[in-house]
Structure 1
Amino acid sequence: MALGYSHFRHQALFAYNSAMHDYFKRYKRYGDYALRRVFNDLLRQETSKLKVPCIYIPSSASHLNQRGFDPVVGLFQEVFKLFPALIKMETTQGQSEKNRQERLATPQFFQFNSHYQVLLEEPQLLLVDDIYTTGRTIFHAQDCLRQAGFRGQFQSLSLAR
């Protein structure tokens, strides 16, 4: 069940086009980890006024083991202090392998990391992800944090949409 998404604002820095597809293919699929820094200056410039705790959308353990790095952490770790407040449970199929309807129907796949209970008392949180497609992942993250007790406002940021 989705909880209310009022007072939610998402910002994507780029449109997800063929060039961005090629970038993510090289970065995520082929593991070109040096590409994580390509957008650092722009990310710093665009987010310099954001002073809220930043929770990143994590990879599942199997994707982390397969790639050897978390792509979202790679993109944002030099721009924000990232909090690992979410744990992604294993799923049978990745979001990128699903069509729009399948993505929207995906059941909750996050758990709250209770070591970060203090974040639930913040007035606002920023959720960061690499690509925003349907919003299902960000909305699952919000639902998980709401269920854990967060009552503040959300913003989200992705590199591409």
Structure 2
Amino acid sequence: MNRCLACHGTYYDQPGWRRLLMIEQLSQICQTCESKLVLISGRRCIKCSRSLDQLSQTYRKGEQCLDCWRWDQQGEILEKNLSIYEYNAFLKEWLATFKFRGDAIIASFFTNKLANMYEKHFQGYVPVPMPLSNERLLARGFNQSSLLMKGWADAIDSLVRTEGEKQSKKNRKQRIRQFKQNPFSFKSESDVKGKNMVLIDDIYTTGTTVRQAARVLQEHGATKVASLTIAR
């Protein structure tokens, strides 16, 4: 009998040859909670992974969502973002428990899923965790992005972040407007020249934060910068 990382109820893992032969890992959440996680499928925005099938034609420009098309008009910095799940109410609450209530073990559910996406789409890219400010790191006790890389990538801390207002407190327009007010700076001892980098984070919302980080890396010589996240 196992205890679910999401609802904390007990459950029995589903038997099967793939798990018996160690081809597939044992589940860490119950079937009820797993059914609430929605994989992004069907037609996606070619830049940010947003589901185009669920998006009105008004908010699409060809194979892109309107947000990414607007970023293109400003001079795109980010190569692409790949996300695994839709950011629905269940995942929003679960990630809040992970980040803001200190339930760090939740990261272990996502590490292999991110590792598989990295192996499939970002071979040769250097993984970089999105940094927290010292104040936020002290309050939280861990960097969620670094935990999401545990076991499959060494954290290359090329960026430093200064404290600012929480992104979760800002609406979409406020996040996009703050693009020029970059909270990230570069660690002088890092070397990213001529390298492709992929930023690791939990959520892609408007794309402002990852583009701010990408801009700093490119200014210091990175060839391409992409991002890999749990949710879009």
TM-score, length basis structure 1:
0.89
Structure ranking higher in strand proportion: 1
Superposition deviation, residue 7 in structure 1: 6.9
| Residue 130 of structure 1: aligned partner | 202
1:35–1:9 CA distance, 2 compared to 1 (3 A)? same
| Residue 129 of structure 2: aligned partner | 56
Q: Which runs of 4+ in 1 moved over 4 A?
A: none
Is the Cα–Cα contact under 8 Å of residues 53 and 81 in structure 1 kept in the other structure? no
More displaced stretch, 74-83 vs 99-108: 74-83
Contiguous gaps of at least 5 residues in structure 1: none
**AA at the equivalent of 1:108:** N
SS in 2 for 1:48: helix
- CA–CA distance in 2 between the matches of 1:121 and 1:133? 28
| Residue 69 of structure 1: aligned partner | 142
| Residue 87 of structure 2: aligned partner | 16
Equivalent of residue 184 in structure 2, options 110, 123, 130 = 110
Q: Which has the larger radius of gyration?
A: 2
Superposition deviation, residue 86 in structure 1: 0.5
TM-score, length basis structure 2:
0.63
1:141–1:79 CA distance, 2 compared to 1 (3 A)? same
- CA–CA distance in 2 between the matches of 1:6 and 1:136? 11
More displaced stretch, 129-138 vs 46-55: 46-55
- CA–CA distance in 2 between the matches of 1:4 and 1:149? 17
Aligned length: 156
**AA at the equivalent of 1:149:** G
- CA–CA distance in 2 between the matches of 1:147 and 1:44? 27
- CA–CA distance in 2 between the matches of 1:148 and 1:90? 22
Q: Percent of aligned pairs with the same residue?
A: 28
- CA–CA distance in 1 between the matches of 2:136 and 2:116? 30
Structure ranking higher in helix proportion: 1
| Residue 35 of structure 1: aligned partner | 106
CA RMSD between the two structures: 1.7
Higher relative contact order (CA 8 A, sep 6+): 1
Superposition deviation, residue 58 in structure 1: 0.7
